[in-house]
Structures are given as C-alpha cells and as structure tokens.
Structure 1
C-alpha cells in the first residue's frame, strides 16, 4: 500500500443535519455564511458545503477533514461561529464517516450529549480528488 493510500485512510467526513428554529431561517443563513467564510479563510477543512431544505426547515452541512488533528484544530478556532449558528437551530442528527481517533470520538459525543443520534461509519474504500478551486 502506498503512503498516499495510507494517508487517505485518515480522511473524515462529517454530516450534520440541523433543524432550523421557526422564524430563524434568515438568522441561520447569515450565521452559517459567516461560519463557512471563516472556515474557508482559516479552517483546516478540505471542503465545507451546506444545503438548506426550506420546506422542511432542515440544513445539511458536510465537512471533509484530512484527519483527527484537523478536527481538533477546527474545534479550537471555530467555537464562536459554531455557537452563533446554534442560536438558530438544533442538531437533529450527526454522522461521522471514517475512523477518528478516540479523542475526537469522545469530543463528538461530549459536544452533542444526548441531543441527537450520532453514528460512526468506518471507511471501506474510496479516494479524494480535490482541485484547487476558488
């Protein structure tokens, strides 16, 4: 197995499904836009995409990290932005794809407490092909 293949094994994809609070759609949009712009400029994520289903008042955020260290860096620098977003929604479901280290598993569980289901799905196979796009 090549070094690149071994490194690809550390990628983590988070999917966060959020229920937007009634009357907070515009506030949520503004807060998420600020948070994503902060992540684009300063965060360790390789990719962040957020989608809104206005009819059901759900938002889906996908974040791709190189490894568990990148997740820890995100947590250290982004807390004010996370809190701003959470003022407008609650986490309904949180899914982790890949195998974070024990510290990140504990952090995810502690951060979400009992508020929603959390699932962890180990990687079987795959690859990432990201071009530098602005």
Structure 2
C-alpha cells in the first residue's frame, strides 16, 4: 500500500521546514518567524473574509504565538538596551492589534499588524548577518 500523495507531500513539507529550522542560524530563525507570522496573518485574512471564525481564530492564535513566544522572547533586553525595549513595545502593540482583529473581525487591525511585521522583517533581512 502506498501513502496518498497529499499525506506524502505534507510529510515532505514538514521535513523540509524542520530541516530548515534545525540548520538555520539565529538570524535565519528570526527571518523564519517573520515569514511564519506573515503566512498566519494572510490566512487569518482569508478566513475572516470567508466568515470562518474558527479557522480565523486559529490563524491569529498562531500569529500571536510567533510574536509573543518567538519574536518577543528572542529579544536580548540586557544587551539590546533601549532598542530592545522599543521593540518589545512594538511587539506588544502588534499583539494587541491581532487580538482586536480577532475579537471584532477588524480587517484594518489585521492588515496593520501584517504591515508592521512586514516592515520589521524587511529591515531584519537587510541586516543579513549570515552573509558577513
């Protein structure tokens, strides 16, 4: 018996993502977090437009986890000083936008959170410490 194609493709994708994460530098890991947040927020937007509250909530929860347990947790407040504190405030603001988007089906808040994370992710990719 052969596995179905969809299951095989999903397993292959998981292995690819796990391999990327396991071999990634700290800089690349943060880049992956920004990419994951963007994907989750885009998914939430689709579900919001479709009226699928359960899936919208799951996608926003994933984005919130990435912001709070990934990006915010990765800040080095001791070495980062004032910049790290400002980033923490910005991540807190983004998290509140995501919560507002979820509670009130607020597409504008969802898009603002996506835009801010996109700007931060773009700036992060510009640093490119991996290539130096």
Q: TM-score, normalised by structure 2?
A: 0.30
Structure with the bigger RCO (C-alpha within 8 Å, sep 6+) is: 1
Which protein is richer in helix relative to its size?
2
Please identify the structure whose Cα radius of gyration is greater. Answer: 2
